[in-house]
Structure 1
C-alpha cells in the first residue's frame, strides 16, 4: 500500500483522535497526522495540504459526522465545491458510532471512499484502503 501525504483526523473528541492515530500508526501509512475539531477547521487544513497531495500519494480524511461548528455533512457539502484536483488527491472515510439508513443513503451523493464504525480498528479500515488502492496495485 502506498504512503499517504498525511492523515487528517476530523473529530471533536481529542480522545478519539488520539486512539485513531494510535491505531493508524501501526499501519505505517504516513508520518504526518493532522487533527481538526470540526468540519470548518478540516476544510482549512485540507486546502493547505491539497497543494502537496497527489492521487499517487493522497491525503486520507477520517471524518466524524457529529461535530460542533460544522458537522460531517456540512464538510462533505463544502468539499463537493472544491476543485477536481482536490477530490482526486483526497480519500474520505466516514467514521460514526451509528448511522441511519437515510444518512447512509445521503452519503452516496458525496465523494466518500467508505464508512467504518467507531471505534476504528485496522480490520475496519484495511478493506476500504485495499479497495481504494486496488487500481494502483493491479
Structure 2
C-alpha cells in the first residue's frame, strides 16, 4: 500500500500533469491520483471525493500550481479557507511554482499551505514532502 491513499494534482498544463502522475505512480506514492486543471475543478473534486472524511479517494496531499486560468492557486486557497471546516479534509497543500520572485515567495508565506516547491517535481522533492508530512514521528514508531 502507498504512503498516501490519494493525491490531487492541480495544474493547467497537461504535460506537467502527465509527468507528475507518472512520477507519483513510479514511486508508488499514492493509491490514486486525481487531476484538476484549475482551482475551481479542484474544489469540485474535493467536494465530490471528501463527502465522507474517511473516503479513500479524499486527497491527503494537494500539489497546487500557483498560476492557472479561471481560478489560480491563491484564489483556490482563499475559497478553500472560506468553506466550512467540516467540508475541508485534513490535507497537506504544497504550492508548486516556477517563480522565485521575492514578491511571490512573500505572498506564499501567509497562505495556509504546508510549503512550496519549485517546478519541476522530482523524486527528491516528493521524498522530501513524504518525509516531512507523512512519515511516522519517531515517538510513534
Q: TM-score, normalised by structure 1?
A: 0.84
User: In 2, distance between residues paired with 1:79 and 1:51?
Assistant: 15
Query: TM-score, normalized by length of structure 2?
Result: 0.83
Please give the per-residue CA displacement for 1:25-77, whole angstroms capped at 9, x wherever unaligned. Answer: 122122211111110101110122223455xx852111111111001110011
User: Equivalent residue for 2:95?
Assistant: 94
Q: How many residues align?
A: 137
Following superposition, the deviation at residue 109 of structure 1 comes to: 2.1
Change (3 A) 1:119 1:131: same
Which residue does 1:68 correspond to in 2? Answer: 69
Residue 21 of structure 2 corresponds to which residue in structure 1? 21
The runs of at least 4 consecutive aligned structure 1 residues that moved more than 4 Å come to: 85-88, 134-137
Q: Is the 8 A contact 1:63 1:93 kept in 2?
A: yes
Correspondences of 1:106-117 after superposition (within 5 Å): 106-117=107-118
Matches within 5 A, 1:1-138: 3-53=3-53, 59-85=60-86, 87=88, 89-134=90-135, 136=137, 138=139
Distance 1:83 1:135, change over 3 A: farther
